Amino acid sequence: MIFYILRRLLGMVPTLLVISFLTFFIIELPAGDYISNQIAALKATGESSSIAKLEFLRKEFALDRPFLERYLVWVGLWPGPHGFDGLIQGNWGWSFEYDKPVAEVVGPTMPLTIVLNAATILFVYVVAFPIGIYSATRQYSWGDYGFTFLGYIGLATPNFLLGLILLYFSNRWFGLSIGGLMDPQYIGKPWSMGKMMSVLGHLIVPTIVIGTAGTAAMIRRLRANLLDELHRQYVTTARAKGMREAHLLVKYPLRMALNPFIADIGNLIPSLVSGSVIVSVVLNLPTVGPVLLTALQSQDQFLSGFILLFVALLTLFGMLISDLLLAVLDPRIRLGGRAVS
C-alpha cells in the first residue's frame, strides 16, 4: 500500500512537469508579455520616464530570455538573475498587476474560496442524494417527474442570472448587502462573531447559485445509476431473503451506485479552487476566480500560471485520493489479484 502510494507520487512528477510546460506555453501564446505591453502603452502616450524601470523589471524576471529558458527559470530548473529561484525553490513568482508576490495575492483569497466551494459541494451532496434515491425508487411517480422538471430548470438556468435574482430578493427580504462575502463594515476587520454570521449569511446565495446545476446533474446521475442497480439479480436475492426494502436499498444497490461518485471526488477537489469563476465575478466574491480572470486578461503570467498549476496539482491529488478510496470501498479493486480467473 505504501509502496503503491509512493509510486503514484513519483509518477506525478513528470505529469506535473508536462502540465507546467503546457500551462506556460498557453499563457505565453498571446504576443508580448505584461511588461512589454506596458512599455508599448507608455511609448504610445509619449511618456518615457518609467520605461527604464520597466526594462529593469524585464531583466529581473528573465522576460528578455528565450522561451525555453523563461520556462525553466520559472520552474526553477535554470539559473535566473538570482540563481535558481523558481517554483521548486518555493518562489511562486511576482504579480505585475498587483505589484506583490503571487503568494500574497492568492493567499488571502484561498480560505474564503475553499469555504465557499466546500459549502457548495456539501449542498450538492445533501440535496442530491435524498432526491436521487427518491426518484429512482419511485420511478415515474409524480414526485419523480416534479424533481426531474426542477432539475432540468436548474440545469438550464444561467448561473449568474439566478444569482442576480436571488441577490435582489435576499436584499429585499433579509437586508443582505449585495455582492461580496460579508457586510462592508467587516472587510479588513479581525474575525468576530458578527463577521462569522455575516459570512454565513452571504454564503447562502452563492452556494445555491453555484450548486444548482451540479445538484441537478447529480440527481440525474444518481437516479440513472441506482435504477440500473435496482434491477440487478442480487437485489432480488436480498429481497428473497426477506429483508426490509429500506434496509436492503441502502446495503446493496445504493452501495454499488456510489462508486462513480467516489471516483468523482478527484474532480471535486480542484473545483474547490476553480469551480466558480464566472459566478464569483458576477456576485463580486473575493475568491480566486476573479483574480485568475484578471490575471489572464492582463497577461499577468506568473500569477495565472501559478493558479492554473495549483489547480492541476489538486487534480492529481484528487485522483490519487479517489483511487485510494475506491480501493478501500470496493473489494473487487482491492483484491482483484486473488480472484480465480
Partner 1 sequence: MNVLTIDGLTVDFKTGEGTTRAVEGVSFSVPRNRTVALVGESGSGKTVISQTIMGLLPANARIVSGSVMLSDPGLAGGKPVDIVSLDPSGPKMRAIRGDRIAIIFQEPMTSLSPLHTIGDQIGEAAELHRKVDSAQARELTREMLRLVRFPDPARALDAYPFELSGGLRQRAMIAMALICHPALLIADEPTTALDVTIQAEILKLIKDVQQELQMSVLVITHDFGVVANLADDVVVIYHGRIMESGSARQLFADPQHDYLKALLNAVPRFTMNAGERLVPIRPIEPHAGGFLVKERRKAVETGKPLVRLENVSKSFITRKGGLLGARPREFLALDDINLTINRGECVGLVGESGSGKTTTAKAILRAISIDRGRILYDCGDGPIDVAAMRGEVLKDYRRRVQLIFQDPFSSLNPRMTVNDILVEPYIIHRIGTAEERAERVRELMRLVGLDPRFLRRYPHSFSGGQRQRIGIARALALNPELILCDEPTSALDVSVQAQILNLLKDLKSELGLTYLFVSHNLAVVNYISDRIAVMCRGRIVEVGPTKEVVSDPLHPYTQALLAAVPEPDLDARLDFEALDARKASEPALWPEPFRLTDDDAPTLVELRPGHFACAPGLADGAMPAALMEAAL
What's the grid cell of residue 45?
A: 502616450
Residue 141 touches partner 1, criterion: CB under 8 A: no
Do 135 and 223 touch, CB atoms closer than 8 A?
yes
Angle (CA) 302-304-309 rounded to 5° is 90
Angle (CA) 90-96-100 rounded to 5° is 55
Per CB under 8 A, the list member of 43, 59, 82, 332 interacting with partner 1 is: 332
CB of 325 to partner 1, least distance (A): 12
Q: Name the DSSP letter for residue 96.
A: T
Residue 44 touches partner 1, criterion: CB under 8 A: no
**Closer to partner 1 at the Cβ: 99 or 245?**
245
Per CB under 8 A, the list member of 110, 256, 262, 325 interacting with partner 1 is: 256
**Closer to partner 1 at the Cβ: 111 or 336?**
336
Residue 334 touches partner 1, criterion: CB under 8 A: yes
Per CB under 8 A, the list member of 40, 232, 264, 284 interacting with partner 1 is: 232
Per CB under 8 A, the list member of 110, 183, 241, 292 interacting with partner 1 is: 241
Candidate ranges 103-111, 251-259, 290-298, 308-316; the one touching partner 1 (CB under 8 A): 251-259
Q: What is the DSSP string of 124-185?
A: HHHHHHHHHHHHHHTTTSHHHHHHHHHHHHHHHS-HHHHHHHHHHHHHHHH-PPSSSSS-GG
Residue 143 touches partner 1, criterion: CB under 8 A: no
CB of 324 to partner 1, least distance (A): 8
Residue 325 touches partner 1, criterion: CB under 8 A: no
Candidate ranges 69-77, 203-211, 236-244, 265-273; the one touching partner 1 (CB under 8 A): 236-244
Interacting residues toward partner 1 by CB under 8 A: 1, 3-4, 232-234, 236-245, 251-252, 255-256, 327, 329-341
